[in-house]
A and B are shown apart, each in its own frame.
Chain A
Amino acid sequence: MAAPGLAIDFALAGVAVGSAAALSGVGLVVCYRLTGVLNLAQGGIAVFTAYLLRELAVVRGWPLWLAAAVCLLLVAPGLGVLLQFGVFGPLRRRAAGVGELVVASVGVLVLLIGLVAAMWGTAPLADVPSLVPVRTFTLPGGRLLRLDTVAQLGAVLVVACAVWAVGRFTRFGVRSRAVADDPALAELAGVNAEAVGAVGWAFGALTAGLVGVLLAPLVLLDPYGLPLLVLETLAVAVAARFHSLPVAVAAGLALGIVQAELAWLHPSGTLMPVVDAGQSNLFAVALLVAALVPWGEAEQGLVGGGALLAGPAAPRHRDGWAPLLCAVVLLTPLALRGGGVRALLTVPGIALVLLSVVLVTGSGGLVSLAQGAFAGLGALGTAQLVSGQVPGGAALVVAVLGLAAAGVLVGWPVVHRRGLVLAMVTFALAVGLSRFVFQQPYATAGLTGARPSFLHSDRALYAAELAVLAAGALLVAAVRRGRLGRALLATRDHEAGAWAAGVAVPRLKLLVFVLGAALAGAGGVLLAMAGGAFDPATFDPVQGLVWFATVVVTGVDSAAGAVLAPFVLVALDSATVPGMSAVVVGALATATGHLPGGLTGWARSRLGAWS
């Protein structure tokens, strides 16, 4: 093992990443406090700013200070203000819930990543200039200290202290806290909530840009890696409970330092793979731990910020034409000749995952961002069973039952959470599953194809998938109708009222969560069979967010929308370029402020206007 003095060197190296994480956490906390929005788009803004800085300073040859000033003081805050007035202001005005705000910020994230990829390509870049010259000092005792590390640490402390002082001692601070508590009431007290929100977004975007510019020289810059890195700093904001700046700074720095120390420790023997996995995914571990530790009183303030998906309950609709339309659209490919069916094999699987979101979030009111991960578990389970010579049909049954059991296990601690906290816990689960199961060789090594042998023709497989989808859709319809459906609606719309009316709320929520997990798992099974193998990228947490966004965009209450949407998205991807569907969903998601009830809500109001 290396000399103990090296521990200090590694700690100093960890401060660089740690201070970027702390800065990102401070930005997330302040933005949440002033706007009520958890800014999942932070990584998108970061990567956009980093690319822009490189474009101006390296490609166009601007002086670095000028390029940095334009990027950080002009473009990033301007982007933030644009987001407030174009995307999040309208959502706030109609008191949108956590789910819609999450979806809108996912939309912004996806759009910005798409924009960066379209403008600058996806090839990794190593020539992003560092804002602070790479120079080292020698400390007394012979330690080397990098100037940029000192500058980053200084920036974090200055920003955090400035934010604290403004909140504590200025009139703007009191007014912004009033907006954080209750925007409508703050307006009545003469506070311009839109302007405060714009300041919050400008600050959030500025810190995001700064994080991007600071991190970019430390990593290879590409459109996907940096946003994920920044997304992981969510752990810092969750640890701070979206409230405490000192905790955010301390957590960010601590995580950076611990990560560096773990790299130094590098124990040999059986512990090594565990430590290695923990070290490279430390922020994911921290996110999971921070989200699962009881939130206590911190949860109250967050739940007050809008627990439900949508504000006032939408009227229930019975669209008689919807099931017929779904059946016609889904059955049509069977009548087609040629390889058309092959491209659509993933449609029923995705449809089942989306249906599970409709059930859990639309009917149950639980904002679960883990449905994609449950699908991943189903897919992985199937791939393993089939590799172990278990027939495909049996694998489906075993995987679905296993997922239901997992739903009970996971659901029990989860269903007592609400609103943003529930969203965070489930997202942390999705990240954890992706990093520690789907991407680990112990789970995925040696898997053979998952496709059952008796379904070798695409047409037969598609027909079998449709049968499973139909069973899932019938299950959702059965749950949403009748006594159970009424109890669910009552719980979603007024939990205390449902308790008072004799609904066993936790048991009901657990039931919905378990059914949702099983449905998503079944979807995963179909996706594994359709793809012929297990692909971890399909069940990435960001892909899960995009699926969730798809459901909200099409109408979270609409089962028909959930069945038809994947058809359109898969067709779009195969007709243009892969990833196009995500960009379209992202674009629609940023417009949720203008589309209450999603696309189906809009369609219904149009149809209503005609009739």
Chain B
Amino acid sequence: MTTPLRLALRGVTVRRGPVVRLAGVDIRCPADRLGFLIGRNGSGRTAVLEALAGLVPHHDGTVLLDGRDIGSLAPHRRAALGVVLVPARRAVFPTLTVAETLALAGRPPQPILDVFPELAPLLPRRATALSGGQQQLLALARALLTEPVVLLLDEPDRGLAPSVTARLHEQLAGRTALLTARTLPSWAPSSALVHVLERGRVVWHGEAGELRAASRF
């Protein structure tokens, strides 16, 4: 299955002080497919997402969106181009209400309230008055509402109720998205592109079906 490439890292190195977080990594996000970054803690999953979203500077290599080098753009410029990251924790604004948080997307919130009706009664509440799971849902809902070109989700299922998780996965189907997880989730479609990271390097990449087939033996 070949689809055009949407977002990619080419030979990207990310350092923090003396520590190398990513060492010459290639990551591909083909259009309209899910991608998974699999690895242990510290393997560099979050660093990949942060390099794509522009939160950390990269030293070598390029960040490409539809063939254009976006490596020098600030995070808000990348967000405006549709590269939207939802960090793993604390991804809400404490003093904004749910309604105001959704208003940041600049679109009417109704479509996302239809998908996640549990947000509707929370609209006038401040984000600090929400539970951890509700905060995570709010962060994801805000990102989905912007109709992103590429969605980057750092451990999106953390803290979510199972019923909400199922609807989130339905929403992700057919989108270009890159998710991180420790192991390949059972719901991942066989066509999903998987990168396995270890100590800041990609040690395997291929389709989820291949990985499952290989790990059966």
Contact = CB atoms under 8 A, between A and B. Distances in A.
B38 interface: no
A304 B101 CA distance: 19
B78 to A, nearest CB: 9
A182 B54 CA distance: 16
B94 interface: yes
A177 interface: yes
A171 B103 CA distance: 8
Q: Name the 6 nearest CB pairs between A and B, nearest first.
A: A190-B79, A187-B75, A181-B93, A187-B76, A192-B76, A178-B93
B189 to A, nearest CB: 27
A383 interface: no
A190 B96 contact: no
B54 to A, nearest CB: 8
Interface of A: 171, 174-175, 177-178, 180-182, 184-194, 301, 304
A174 B103 contact: yes
Interface string B94-110: 11100011011110000
B93 A185 contact: yes
B87 A188 contact: yes
B75 A184 contact: yes
B91 A185 contact: yes
Interface string B52-83: 01110000000000000000001110011000
12 contacts: A174-B104, A182-B94, A184-B75, A185-B91, A186-B93, A187-B75, A187-B79, A188-B53, A188-B79, A189-B142, A190-B76, A191-B76
A416 to B, nearest CB: 22
Interface of B: 53-55, 74-76, 79-80, 84-87, 90-96, 100-101, 103-106, 142, 146
B93 to A, nearest CB: 4
B152 to A, nearest CB: 9
Contacts of A181: 93-96
Given A301-B94, A301-B95, A190 B104 contact: yes
Nearest to B55: A184
Nearest to B74: A187
Give the residue among A184, A187, A188, A192 with the most B Cβ atoms within 10 A: A188
A189 B96 contact: no
A151 B14 CA distance: 56
A186 B76 CA distance: 8
Contacts of B75: 184, 187-188
Contacts of B85: 188
B91 A180 contact: no
A178 B101 CA distance: 8
Nearest to A181: B93
A174 B101 CA distance: 8
Contacts of A189: 76, 79, 104-105, 142
A174 B79 contact: no
B146 A185 contact: no
Given A177-B95, A193-B76, A188 B55 contact: yes
Nearest to A191: B76
B76 A174 contact: no
A301 B94 CA distance: 9
B94 A304 contact: yes
A182 B104 CA distance: 14
Contacts of B101: 178
B80 A174 contact: no
A422 B85 CA distance: 35
Nearest to B86: A188
A482 B90 CA distance: 36
B79 A177 contact: no
Contact of A182 (B79, B80, B93): B93
B95 A185 contact: no
A180 B75 CA distance: 17
B104 A191 contact: yes
B96 A177 contact: yes
Contacts of A191: 76, 104
Contacts of B54: 187
B100 A174 contact: yes
A562 B177 CA distance: 52
A189 B103 CA distance: 11
Contact of B80 (A178, A190, A304): A190
A71 B95 CA distance: 35
A171 B106 CA distance: 9
A29 to B, nearest CB: 14
A175 B84 CA distance: 17
A127 B79 CA distance: 53
Contacts of B142: 189
A190 B101 CA distance: 12
A395 to B, nearest CB: 48
A188 B143 CA distance: 9
Given A180-B95, A301-B94, A188 B103 contact: no
Given A175-B104, A177-B93, 10 more contacts: A177-B100, A182-B90, A185-B90, A187-B79, A188-B55, A189-B79, A190-B76, A190-B146, A193-B76, A304-B94
Contacts of A184: 55, 75
A187 B86 CA distance: 11
A190 B142 CA distance: 11
A174 B96 CA distance: 8
A186 B100 CA distance: 13
B56 to A, nearest CB: 11
Nearest to B91: A185
Contacts of A194: 74
B84 to A, nearest CB: 7
Contacts of A178: 93, 96, 101, 104
Contacts of A187: 54-55, 74-76, 79
A171 B90 CA distance: 23
Nearest to B53: A188
A316 to B, nearest CB: 14
B96 A188 contact: no
A188 B93 contact: no
Nearest to A190: B79
A445 B10 CA distance: 74
Give the residue among B53, B55, B76, B94 with the most A Cβ atoms within 10 A: B76
Nearest to B103: A174
Nearest to B84: A188
Contacts of A185: 87, 90-93
Contacts of A180: 95
B162 to A, nearest CB: 27
Contacts of B55: 184, 187-188
Nearest to B16: A312
Contacts of B92: 185
A241 to B, nearest CB: 13
B82 to A, nearest CB: 10
A188 B75 CA distance: 6
A177 B84 CA distance: 20
B145 to A, nearest CB: 11
Contacts of B79: 187-190
Give the residue among B90, B104, B106, B146 with the most A Cβ atoms within 10 A: B104
